[in-house]
Amino acid sequence: MTEQLIRTLGAELGEEGSWSEGIVVISEFLTEVVGIDSLDISPRDGSGLSAYNLVTPRALVRILQYLSSSQNNGTYRSALATPGEEDSTLQERLSDLEGRVFAKTGTISNVNSLSGYLTRDDGSEVIFSILSNGSGLPSGQVRDAIDDIVRILAR
């Protein structure tokens, strides 16, 4: 489905939408509208599964900042996982921060990530993105380390 969306976006540039034209549309939006440095992101497919997709935590934080200031922020944020939420990817994680974390997890072979919004102990909000790629460690151990970093950020 995401690959078709890229082709549809590509139709904005040409008669027949192509994958390569769609990637151009996405890249231009991210750099020119969202304000991401072109060195921080390199999309290669719509699903995000290609090993050639590259994104830095800085780029993900910038996307989250952009979304936070959009008129659809409430809708977007409510779609993110929260600790303790039934059937969510954070259901069994960060229970001590319930109601304070809204985030998207990412897990594929030897890659773990967590990016989102956190309300700190002092009430301020921090936008964060933690990525682990190719650590060689068990996924559960990496998830625990990511959660520990979020707890430190909460202080």
**3 state SS for 37-89:** CHHHEECCCCCCCCCCCEECHHHHHHHHHHHHCCCCHHHHHHCCECCCCCCCC
**CA–CA separation, 104 and 97 (whole Å):** 15
69: left (phi over 0), alpha (psi -120 to 50) or beta: alpha
pLDDT bucket at 14, cuts 50 / 70 / 90: low
Mean pLDDT score, 99-127: 96
Residue 45 near residue 62 (C-beta atoms within 8 A):
no
**pTM, full prediction:** 0.91
What is the pLDDT, as a whole number, of residue 15?
62
Mean pLDDT score, 128-149: 97
SS3 assignment, position 115: strand
Residue 73 near residue 67 (C-beta atoms within 8 A):
yes
All structural domains of the chain, each given as residue ranges with its CATH number in brackets, are: 1-55 (no CATH), 56-155 (3.40.710.10)
pLDDT bucket at 51, cuts 50 / 70 / 90: confident
- Across the chain, mean pLDDT equals 93
Q: Output phi, psi for 104, to 5 deg.
A: -115, 125
| Host H or E run for residue 31 | none
What is the pLDDT, as a whole number, of residue 119?
98
Least confident of 6-20, 50-64, 70-84: 6-20
